Structure 1
């Protein structure tokens, strides 16, 4: 039965990677979930509870996707690209600016915004400065994963861990700040060394034509971020804060006839949200058929430095085998109903940083490749994998040690 469940999961992930005939991921995932229930691989009650647990996370996903698209329509990323170009005066300057922009965008608007909205802007900025694009688009791709550990809203995996770890929004962020900074520092150092030849080019001068700041959109994003921090104290799901921010921008865009109601629905990507729910049911079937028990035997029970490193390593390996979202679901179940917060956060480091090693590690990486392909940029598999080997272990160890120190300080 475990083999059958794993086969269904493999089919769902393969369809997400290949997207045959451009079909949405849900076209395969939903029938697979129904088959898992129909074949008795997971009970209807267990499947229903999995969907109910994922519903707030998926609601947030829809809201943040819409928020990011509306912010882009307001000119936030065009303005940011012009600012990046205007501030680049030395060969390595753009890499540092892109690293900061990608880390900030990932933290606030989630990794999908970095991949879908920021990466094309970075490509255009590099072309405008007559600089090689490779270092900067790799910074976007890597940081969309490794810089997604700061806030509970930075990644779907974070929202799942946030619900399990028992920390407040502010407490989560405080503990994860040092690991976040450690991972970014390692990524920047390795990327700068790896692409040192590309970074030797001097940027071309650009005209001072920075468009005016989109103050309204930036104010809405700032208020939404503040709402994320305050909502946990009021017992409000982050999805409602993201929905409120998206609603404000949507009303403005509709009033100005910059978007249609159908466009709003498309921006929220309901089929992808349905895919996430169906994937959760398939992963629950895999867990029910024995994977959860096997992981329980491997995972340590205490958040010592050794224990945190072991959990982060197991999570990174599993993310690259079954994708990071299924890995998170299975590992959180394996940790039990009341896990130590440190172990949950170590899982998060593994499933967020680990996917930089392989294409299938995260859906964001697959999406990043697709975005680059649409812009005529080819990603070499050997370079991607070798660069992943240079960054992932170092970033994972550095961030896990930083997590251990943060937990010690926080008590």
Structure 2
């Protein structure tokens, strides 16, 4: 019991550092010492820690590559062009803009991961709403929610997906095939609820005549072709036995060479975009969570999780995952739940866990790192979100979205046979 409390204290220290960021210090400065303490005090053996690092290595490598790919797509003007398209296609109608933002956020999250939606798309959406003299709040919250709930489609959409994908034994296309219907279901729920929740904002029309349209930026064809080819490569890679990290690395390398030649970015900026500090944080967090799991958490969660794949069992699993994600953040929750499911988990249960840890964080700010980052991005741009409004909205979308997505998953598994 004492060893479990010690491991939990280390995890709590890391989570507080992530949430509060005392003195503006990066979370890695707490996570790495916590991991070192876990190993030094015997909470986790050196061999087990090294095993955890080896297992997380390809996942973290992919994270770095996809972050770099998103940065380079932004440097190529993809998000500037997308913002202009949103402004033109919306015709200054708030409901129309919301629908377009949903499409853009869902697509960005699926292809470039939730971090791109938060860091790159959200500022564009806020600027677009401001330029059109429309309330920015519904569109900002749409980006936040879809960065989490719309991240379930592809293994590359979220770090949690990569962890689950590795444990599921599914191919890239097999994963996407099973998650497509749940993805559509939760997005539909999110859209209907946000339309109702922000009804007053969405009835507002610009008080002044719409601004004179700005010149449309050039279509970033090269970048769009590279992104499309990278996405196609993800689909083909699993059949060829190639890890997604190599496909993402090739796509990022192509855009990086172009950016360097055209002086749109420099070596230091490219390294910074790959976020080595955050990647190291993920590895250290994995060691800390492994220590907590080894000291009894995995056994305790294993006793709670069902073993069947009935609809009730999937709903129970998804619910437990959602609650745990809001208690300890979705990344540690994913690691702990995968450890609890054992070395050869049933794909159905693993995917139900994924729904819980991806949709559940829309209930609280601390549920996912993406939500914390969105809060910072929105605040810096003069649209500071309200905790009360975020929780109230999440209290509607999370239960409904989680139920709809889980039922859709059960139906997809039934059709798959």
* TM-score calculated relative to the size of structure 1: 0.99
Q: 2:69 aligns to what?
A: 67
Post-superposition shift, 1:376? 1.8
CA displacement, residues 318-337 of structure 1 (integer Å, 9 cap, x when unaligned): 00011101111111111111
1:2 equivalenced with 2:4 (yes/no): yes
How many angstroms apart in 2 are the aligned matches of 1:22 and 1:246? 29
1:95–1:136 CA contact under 8 A, matched in 2: yes
How many angstroms apart in 2 are the aligned matches of 1:210 and 1:142? 29
1:213 equivalenced with 2:216 (yes/no): no
Please provide the CA RMSD for this pair: 0.8
User: How do 1:220-259 residues align onto structure 2 when only pairs under 5 Å count?
Assistant: 220-259=226-265
How many angstroms apart in 2 are the aligned matches of 1:128 and 1:257? 29
Moved more, 331-340 or 265-274: 331-340
Of 32, 35, 56, the residue aligned with 1:33 is 35
Moved more, 369-378 or 271-280: 369-378
1:81 equivalenced with 2:72 (yes/no): no
How many angstroms apart in 2 are the aligned matches of 1:286 and 1:3? 9
How many angstroms apart in 2 are the aligned matches of 1:91 and 1:60? 36
How many angstroms apart in 2 are the aligned matches of 1:380 and 1:91? 21
Instruction: State the secondary structure of the residue aligned to 2:199.
Output: coil
Post-superposition shift, 1:208? 5.6
Moved more, 234-243 or 105-114: 234-243
Of 176, 183, 186, the residue aligned with 1:183 is 186
How many angstroms apart in 1 are the aligned matches of 2:139 and 2:383? 12
Give ranges in structure 2 of 5+ residues lacking alignment.
none
1:115–1:141 CA contact under 8 A, matched in 2: yes
How many angstroms apart in 2 are the aligned matches of 1:37 and 1:406? 42
User: How do 1:155-194 residues align onto structure 2 when only pairs under 5 Å count?
Assistant: 155-194=158-197
1:380 equivalenced with 2:386 (yes/no): yes
How many angstroms apart in 1 are the aligned matches of 2:369 and 2:67? 14
How many angstroms apart in 2 are the aligned matches of 1:134 and 1:377? 7
Post-superposition shift, 1:205? 2.8
1:280 equivalenced with 2:282 (yes/no): no
How many angstroms apart in 1 are the aligned matches of 2:271 and 2:25? 18
How many angstroms apart in 2 are the aligned matches of 1:5 and 1:235? 37
Q: 1:17 aligns to what?
A: 19
Of 351, 358, 366, the residue aligned with 2:357 is 351
How many angstroms apart in 2 are the aligned matches of 1:268 and 1:23? 18
Instruction: State the secondary structure of the residue aligned to 1:197.
Output: helix
Instruction: State the secondary structure of the residue aligned to 2:94.
Output: coil
Post-superposition shift, 1:202? 2.3
User: How do 1:43-62 residues align onto structure 2 when only pairs under 5 Å count?
Assistant: 43-62=45-64
CA displacement, residues 259-297 of structure 1 (integer Å, 9 cap, x when unaligned): 111111001010000000000000001101110000111
CA displacement, residues 297-336 of structure 1 (integer Å, 9 cap, x when unaligned): 1111111100000000000000001110111111111111
1:103 equivalenced with 2:100 (yes/no): no
Q: 1:341 aligns to what?
A: 347
Give ranges in structure 1 of 5+ residues lacking alignment.
none
Post-superposition shift, 1:148? 0.2
Of 388, 392, 404, the residue aligned with 2:410 is 404
Instruction: State the secondary structure of the residue aligned to 1:92.
Output: helix
1:370 equivalenced with 2:393 (yes/no): no
How many angstroms apart in 2 are the aligned matches of 1:84 and 1:261? 32
1:86–1:208 CA contact under 8 A, matched in 2: no
* TM-score calculated relative to the size of structure 2: 0.97
Q: 1:195 aligns to what?
A: 198
CA displacement, residues 112-165 of structure 1 (integer Å, 9 cap, x when unaligned): 000000000000000111000000000000000000000000000001111111
